[in-house]
Structure 1
Amino acid sequence: MIKETIFKGEKAILMESEELRVVILPEIGGKLCSIYDKNKEFEVLFQNKKDYYKKAQLNSNFGEFDASGFDDCFPTIDESKVMVSGKEVIYPDHGEVWSSRLKYNILEDAALLNMHSEILPYNYSKKVSVQGKEVELHYEIENTGRDKFPIIWAMHCLVNCEEDMTINFPEDTKTIENVHESKALGKVGEIYTYPIDTVISGKKFDFRKINSAKPNNTEKYYVAHKTRTGRCSMHYPSKDVTFEIVYDIEKLPYVGFWVTEGGFRGDYNCALEPTNGYYDSIDMAVRREMCHYLKPGEKFNFDIKLIIK
């Protein structure tokens, strides 16, 4: 079942199967704001703590808004200045899509959302469908201009944390790079062995676990290499739920991880972030030759499947 509805005062698309209820906000960047398991009575996505959504504009600061649910970060995560067609273009904080109003069409079995960029010559579209316990997303990003430009697409899907949860990185993960100044992991650029290594305090750090919300802490790190397995997940033992992300490894070969253990506005959430860039800023990814250049006329297509077990 698919229909239009209102969610916290915003136009929304409600998609339901017998097992799942999914809500999308077209005018809040096409955000997936809820993935609810009816049988387990469990909300996967971290929720907006207010009863309304503050609408962002182009170049807004992401941290001043709700920071909830599943946003698409494109064409960057960190704000960057890029030369395109001989002109300097500002790639906004967390990209352009999250702050955009997407047009949409509701089909019999899917929702189609799309936008045309204000800063670069590209069309952005995604198709969302819900079948059983799966949410399927198909993306297409087309360069409609005459010159290539660098892009990062990252899955910014904030999920609820539980103290007993387990984070499962792709099975061929070997090393982790810290990309965020950290009390536990130290300076940016520190490399650790996955899944467990000794950190700067001399203690063992298990990258599959998180802390409670009490440490007032945040962490951000990446798998320090391309992976060959497009599959990662979060397991919630106390809820008997696994949230699995299956994605196109040829297009999204890198994986980041963000967690706020009370360190950002008191929030308690985390995100596994499949991406095509390494890491966060276009400047960094270009220097490392670890991002994609979207060529004139090229369509960058990929699929993501979210499975609730």
Structure 2
Amino acid sequence: MIWSKGMLDGYEVWTGRTEVMEMVVVPELGSRVISLSNRMTGREWLVQPAGVLETNGYASSFGSRDGSGWDEMFPTINVCRYPAYPWEGTELPDHGEVWSIPWEAHSEEEQLHCSVQGIRIPYQLRKTYSFPREDTLRIDYAVHNSSPFPFSFLWAAHPLFQIDEGIEIIVPDELTEIIVSYSANGRLGEPGGIRTWPQPWEESPHIRLNRTDSRFAATAEKFYFAGELPEGTASIYDPVAGEGLRMMFPMEKVPYLAIWANYGGYQGQYHLALEPATGLLDDLSYAMGRQAAAEVPAGGTYTWYLEISWIDGQKKEVKSFDRQ
């Protein structure tokens, strides 16, 4: 069996397993993935919970979380008010609604199906986990809009990866600029500022954003690559261990990519997130005002997917010709 159900800290957990990959999800805790591990090397890629699993109240601060696991950010990241009729003025919570409320889950035909209903806007978000290959986890997403009005949203994956200094961040070669969303102590400048990737300051060549820094660097930054992506792929690679992981997603449905790099500068935590996203920057109202948010038509459904595959030393080059 690929999927098995168990209990952890009083919560139902589902484990999916192949010969080389294992993941664990907790539906009641916002359908959070708490483990993504390579069974061949023994490497756990996600930051592990600091203690027992705990629930967070609806519309609570995401900063009260322990900085572990993988959550879904939907339908916004920053707190904002929905700007359009008929939900105009409706406040959407910090990091969205779905990370802090229970999801339904069941397995069927080697797939795990998870779903959740919106609270302040009438949508249903579904995701289906499967393993199309032994070394690949696939998540198929669908947002259904049950209302008679179009609904815009911002979704971003938020996997907090365990890292060491010197991990390489690999994105398409065509990406040369970033837009600052957050920078602790203003190292990258003000939000909305444009910087060069991967070297943001010509006068400071030691600052390179495509490699992880030390846990003692005391920096924390969130930025998006400027404009829509030339292809839907992003990877991280550990040159010391000779292994990494690659994300692939449909750029026509998920046209943006963000990076959250926390090297001790936010709550003393140390992790990295690659965040494919359907909208630009973290505020849904901002994205909608710039026609840079996804939209589900009245009564319609918006679908996309995300695949994660292992990279070994022989497959480090993840260029466009390498895509499947």
TM-score tier by shorter-chain length is over 0.9
Aligned counterpart, 2:215 = 213
Contact 1:85 1:147 in 2 (8 A): yes
Contact 2:144 2:300 in 1 (8 A): yes
Residue type of the partner of 2:32? K
Is 1:242 paired with 2:244? yes
Q: Over aligned residues, Cα RMSD in angstroms?
A: 1.6
* CA positional deviation for 1:207: 2.0
Q: Pairwise mapping of residues 166-205 of structure 1 onto structure 2 (< 5 A)?
A: 166-182=168-184, 183-198=186-201, 202-205=204-207
Residue type of the partner of 1:190? G
Q: Pairwise mapping of residues 1-309 of structure 1 onto structure 2 (< 5 A)?
A: 1-50=2-51, 52-82=52-82, 83-85=84-86, 87-130=88-131, 131-182=133-184, 183-198=186-201, 202-309=204-311
Per-residue deviation, residues 11-37 of structure 1 (Å, max 9, x unmatched) = 100111011111011011111111111
* CA positional deviation for 1:265: 2.4
Quick one: distance in 1 between partners of 2:234 and 2:87?
39
Quick one: distance in 1 between partners of 2:173 and 2:112?
32
Quick one: distance in 2 between partners of 1:59 and 1:233?
31
* CA positional deviation for 1:296: 0.8
Residue type of the partner of 1:108? E
Contact 1:84 1:149 in 2 (8 A): no
Contact 1:54 1:66 in 2 (8 A): no
- Secondary structure class of the residue paired with 1:284: helix
Q: Once structures 1 and 2 are overlaid, which stretch shifts more, 251-260 or 206-215?
A: 206-215
Distance 1:189-1:87 versus aligned 2 partners, 3 A rule: closer
**TM-score, normalized by length of structure 1?**
0.94
Per-residue deviation, residues 97-132 of structure 1 (Å, max 9, x unmatched) = 101101111113110001111111111111001341
Quick one: distance in 1 between partners of 2:153 and 2:172?
23
- Secondary structure class of the residue paired with 2:19: coil
Q: Once structures 1 and 2 are overlaid, which stretch shifts more, 261-270 or 190-199?
A: 190-199
* CA positional deviation for 1:57: 2.2
Quick one: distance in 1 between partners of 2:262 and 2:197?
20
* CA positional deviation for 1:87: 4.8
**TM-score, normalized by length of structure 2?**
0.90
Contact 2:13 2:27 in 1 (8 A): yes
Contact 1:171 1:229 in 2 (8 A): no
Quick one: distance in 2 between partners of 1:17 and 1:304?
18
Contact 1:53 1:66 in 2 (8 A): no
Contact 2:183 2:220 in 1 (8 A): no
Contact 1:179 1:220 in 2 (8 A): yes
Distance 1:142-1:240 versus aligned 2 partners, 3 A rule: same
Quick one: distance in 2 between partners of 1:284 and 1:76?
10
* CA positional deviation for 1:65: 1.6
Contact 1:42 1:239 in 2 (8 A): no
Residue type of the partner of 2:261? V
Residue type of the partner of 2:7? I
* CA positional deviation for 1:79: 0.8
Gaps of 5+ in 1: none
Quick one: distance in 1 between partners of 2:270 and 2:170?
18
Gaps of 5+ in 2: 312-324
Per-residue deviation, residues 165-220 of structure 1 (Å, max 9, x unmatched) = 00112332121112213443122222222232426x64443221121011222011
Aligned residues: 307
- Secondary structure class of the residue paired with 1:180: strand
Quick one: distance in 2 between partners of 1:171 and 1:242?
18
Question: Structure 1 vs Structure 2: percent identity of aligned residues?
Answer: 25
Residue type of the partner of 2:28? E
* CA positional deviation for 1:221: 0.9
Residue type of the partner of 1:75? P
Q: Once structures 1 and 2 are overlaid, which stretch shifts more, 290-299 or 173-182?
A: 173-182
Aligned counterpart, 2:318 = none
Q: Which runs of structure 1 show a deviation greater than 4 angstroms over 4 or more consecutive aligned residues?
A: none
